[in-house]
Structure formats: C-alpha cells, structure tokens
Structure 1
Amino acid sequence: MKLKKSNFLFLVIAIVFFNCSNEKAHEELVTNLDPSKYYEELNISYGEDSNQKFDLYLPANRTANTKVMILVHGGGWKSGDKADMDAIKDLLQQDFLEIAIVNINYRLANKNNNPYPMQIDDITTIVNYLNDNKAKYTISEAIGFIGTSAGAHLSLLWSYAFDTANKVNMVCSIVGPTNFTDPAYLNNTNPDVQELINLFGIDATISFLEEVSPYHQATTTSPPTILFYGGQDPLIPTTQGTDMRDKLQSLGVTHKFTLYPDAGHGWVGLELIDTWVKLKAFIEASL
C-alpha cells in the first residue's frame, strides 16, 4: 500500500515534532529541579577518569542563597574515596538542613601522575561545574570546604591560592599537611612520610614546595579557617598545625585551632564530639 506524498510528508513532520517534544520534555525534566524538594544525585561525572565523580545533596526549600559545602577525602593523595566522608556528610545533613553538600572524588596520584596540579585542577573543574549549574540546582556560588588529611591540604591550598573569585567562606583542615618546607618534613627520617612527600616530586625545589604549601600561600584575604590536629600523629608533625595557626594569626585571618595532645592521625570518643561541636559552631558563624 502506497502513501500519498502529502500523507507521507505529514507523517514525517508528526514524527519529528513528537521526537522534539519528547526531547524537550526530557530536557526540562533534567534541568528544572524543584527547589522545594530534597534532591540527591550520586556519581556525577565531571571528567573522563573513573575517579572524576562527585555526589550531590540538595536540601528542600533551597534558594539562590543556599550555600554549598564541599567535602574532600584523604588517603595520602594516592588512595581514599568520597565514601570516607559519609559520616561528616550525615552530620551536616542532620544539623544543617539548609546547606547543599558536594562529596567529591578526584584523580589519584601515582608514579606517573603527581597530585599537583592534577587534584587542584579537579577541584577547580567541580567548582566551575557548580557555578555553571547554579540555576539548575538553585544554589549560590558561596562555598565552604571540609577536608581530612590530604584532602585537608587540597582544601586549604585551593582556598588560599586558587579561589580567584573569593567564593570560599570557610575552610576546615582535619590533620592536613600545611607546609612542606617545615624542617620536620625536610629532615624527617620516616620512610612513610617521605614516600608521601615524594609524590610531589623527588628532590623538589624549595620554591615548588612553597607553591604547594598552604602555609606559604595564605594571605590577609584568606577565608576563615578552622584547624584540628593530633599531638601524636605519625604523619603530620604538630608544627604543621601550630605554624599554620601562627601564620593566620599574623595575617589577621579569622581562625580557630585545636590540638588533641594524645591523639594520632584521627580520633574517636569525646575528642570527636568536641571536633564536631567546634566545627558546627564555626560553620554557623562563617558559611
């Protein structure tokens, strides 16, 4: 059975129109999120590497003024996963119903890929992605960082040296390295510590070590900073915290510092409760 030319043309137009309508409806479904409802999306890809993914948690009743907290996991720059930050994510969702949360993975370092600038570039890509999609998600450009260990180092470094638009309202370092030119690092005899430092380059120059050290990148315009360290940490000398505290004090940067004398590279019990009480108050005051 043959279709008349006019009928065939009508059929083609109808099919094209139907497909376009479906595509448009799908696009609206994807891009127009209801800000009155809670929304979460896991493993959002921001690059080709399998580790370039992040989880997004958007609170209900958000507005264009909704702040964003970015969580950065540790693992010595070469391991770890965003799942390691789920406990902090859960606390934030429990106590800060109005804050959006982004829990990130980043490319991991190895003998062929140094952590810097690779991991800083990943954070920049994520921040740019959030800014580009702020209308879709109904969020502001204002952000904060909570990082642990290597993730704390990355959080401090990005906030101090790469936040060119001054969008970081606060940054938290939990046992994060701050100064690779610290004599405690340069003269260390710990092979585990040296292995981590070597990720940034064997026999790296002092100028390069300063470039990747938040201590040397802090300025008078650095964002409010809260620091937590353990006095018995085998990887992070106490001076990494106390020197950073003193530098922020000299620059007039708002900061808080806590040293748990008997704690190592992390802690539990009353010290952990104390950390959250202090961090919660700092978020309320700064973000």
Structure 2
Amino acid sequence: MIADIAYAEPVGRAHLLDLYVPAGTGLPLIIWTGGSAWLADNGKDSAGPIAEVFNPLGYAVAGVSIRSSTQATFPAQLDDIRAAIRFLRANAGTYGVDPDRIAVMGDSSGGWTTVMAALTDDAVRVAVAFYPPTDFRRMDEQMLPGACAAFNEMMGLTDCHDDPLSPESRLVGGPIQTSPVAEKASPLTYVGATSPPIMLLHGGQDPLVPHGQSVLLHEALTAAGATAAFYSVPAAGHSLTEVLDPSTQDGTTLRVFEAGRERVEHTPPTWAAIEAFIRRAFQH
C-alpha cells in the first residue's frame, strides 16, 4: 500500500488517499470512499477489505478521504471526490492504472459520494453504491416504523432526518426541507440517459438510510434509459457485511435495466457479481 498521498490542497487528512496496487500496469481502478454520515474525514480507512477482494482480480484500489460537513458544506464533498479522480487520472502512469477504466464505490454517505461522482464526472465508467441517501427530503417518510425514534436518540435529534442538525441538514448548511441546496445535493437531479452503469445494494431493514432511497434512484435511472442494477436484500440492515451475508439474502430481488429492457432475478449479491458488473461496464 502507498499511504497518505495528497491529492488536493490544502493538504490534510481530508485530502489524502491510499493506493493498493497489485503487480502490473494499466490496471482498472476502483475508488472507494467509506461513509460516516458526512461527519468524519476518514473515508479512505475502510478501503483495505475492498482491496483484499479486488487486488487479486487485477484491480488497483484507491481509498479516498473527503471533507466532513464540519469542515465544509456541499458541494465541497463532491469537489473533493472529483479532485481525487482528476489526480489519479493525471498520475495514472506513475501508479500503473488505466485512466479510462475508473469505477467508484462506497457505502452510506460514501455511497452518496459514489453516485454523485458517477452522475457528474464523465471519467467515471461505472459505480457501485451500498445503501446511499438519494433524496434527503423524502427520507423521513420512508423510515421504518420506530426507526426515527432510535435515530433521534442515536444522533441527539428531535426531528429525524428533517432536524436542522441531522447529517443531511449539516451537509447542505440548513434544514433540508427549506434549504435550496438540498435539491442540488440529490443524485436524482443529475440522472440522464448518458449516466454510467450504476449498481445499488440496499437492505430492507436499514434503520438509518431507508431502502426506498435506492428505489428512487433506480427508478430514475431506468426512466432515463440508463443501465442500472438494484439488489434489494429484505433482511439486511445498514451494513455492507449484512448485505453480502447469505443468511440475510432469502427473498433478495435483483432488478437489471439494460438496453431498454428490465429483467428480474432472485439471485443474491456477491463480490463476484459486483466484479462482473464492473467488468462488463469497462468492456462497453
């Protein structure tokens, strides 16, 4: 691993990335950023397990950190991930990666970062997002019964995601229901026919980011005619491990929209299936 590479100014923890590069040159690259409800700048720290999966398959992995909402509000986080993409493309030869085969992946707020990057940066060829927030203003109406009370207790809030101090409100710099920035921070705003292939994975028992958030984005992608895949895992919660755990995957539905047609399967998500989706996107 090459640790703590500065990709933007000012150099600090939020503008560092780690690179996990196996032997070879011209390797496809997966950019990973982990979630923290936008409250931390440690997104790169969870890239190790992703590299353990993808390095043996011939992929380089970059763990990227971006600024927290305590450091800057939106669009700083989008600016940061796009700056990291530009840096990695500009230095592709140095690090042995292919600047034209870039995938982005992340979970929770990192999943939001993933889809925002994919929908606004032409350099991203494919994206894989685990349980991303996509429409902040509809989160509360989609929460599971009793989940808002638990969320309030955990976060020290009184009004769930609509609270002025919720993670989403902090990201946009004001209450999400009244902030004009909330729509600009929604991935739904940027969906179009030329959007790259996007895979979503979401647990039906997610108590933090409602399952319906991925439903909204998948429906928008298919309505626009973009390639999309959506794994709905009924028994999984807000956890990458749970989403990929066979014990939670009974009743899983996979919806794939491609070339204007949708197919529905009942196959569980696996790293092999995720890698196959990425590989197909790179081949087109």
Please, what TM-score do these two structures have when normalized by structure 2? 0.77
Which residue matches 2:175? Answer: 203
**Could you list the per-position Cα deviations for residues 17-49 of structure 1 after superposition, in whole angstroms to 9, with x for gaps in the alignment?**
xxxxxxxxxxxxxxxxxxxxxxx4111122322
Any unmatched runs of 5+ in structure 1?
1-39
Matched, 1:252 2:228: no
What is the CA distance between 1:282 and its match in structure 2?
0.8
What is the CA distance between 1:185 and its match in structure 2?
5.6
Matched, 1:262 2:235: yes
Tell whether the 8 Å contact from 1:179 to 1:216 is kept in structure 2 after alignment: no
Which residue matches 2:258? Answer: none
Structure 1's 82 and 183: CA in aligned 2 closer, same or farther, altered over 3 A?
closer
SS at match of 1:60: coil
**What percent identity do the matched residue pairs reach?**
26
SS at match of 1:140: strand
Matched, 1:128 2:86: yes
What is the CA distance between 1:172 and its match in structure 2?
0.7
Which residue matches 1:150? Answer: 109
Which residue matches 2:274? Answer: 279
Determine which structure has the larger strand proportion and give its number: 2
Q: Match of 1:102, as an amino acid?
A: A
Tell whether the 8 Å contact from 2:139 to 2:213 is kept in structure 1 after alignment: no
**CA–CA separation in structure 2 for the residues paired with 1:89 and 1:61:** 15
Q: Match of 1:51, as an amino acid?
A: A
**CA–CA separation in structure 2 for the residues paired with 1:177 and 1:234:** 12
Taking the TM superposition and a 5 Å limit, the aligned residue runs for 1:1-287 are 40-46=1-7, 47=9, 48-63=11-26, 66-79=27-40, 80-94=42-56, 96-97=57-58, 99-110=59-70, 113-114=72-73, 116-142=74-100, 143-161=102-120, 163=121, 166-182=122-138, 184=140, 190-191=151-152, 192=155, 193-194=160-161, 195-199=166-170, 200-204=172-176, 205=178, 207-266=180-239, 267=242, 269-270=245-246, 271=248, 274-287=269-282
**CA–CA separation in structure 2 for the residues paired with 1:260 and 1:215:** 22
Give the alignment's Cα RMSD to 1 decimal: 2.3
Determine which structure has the larger helix proportion and give its number: 1
Higher deviation after alignment, 263-272 or 100-109: 263-272
**Could you list the per-position Cα deviations for residues 201-233 of structure 1 after superposition, in whole angstroms to 9, with x for gaps in the alignment?**
223446421110112211111110000001111
What is the CA distance between 1:51 and its match in structure 2?
2.7
Higher deviation after alignment, 79-88 or 238-247: 79-88
Structure 1's 140 and 282: CA in aligned 2 closer, same or farther, altered over 3 A?
same
Q: Match of 1:203, as an amino acid?
A: P
Tell whether the 8 Å contact from 1:55 to 1:102 is kept in structure 2 after alignment: yes
Which residue matches 1:31? Answer: none
Please, what TM-score do these two structures have when normalized by structure 1? 0.76
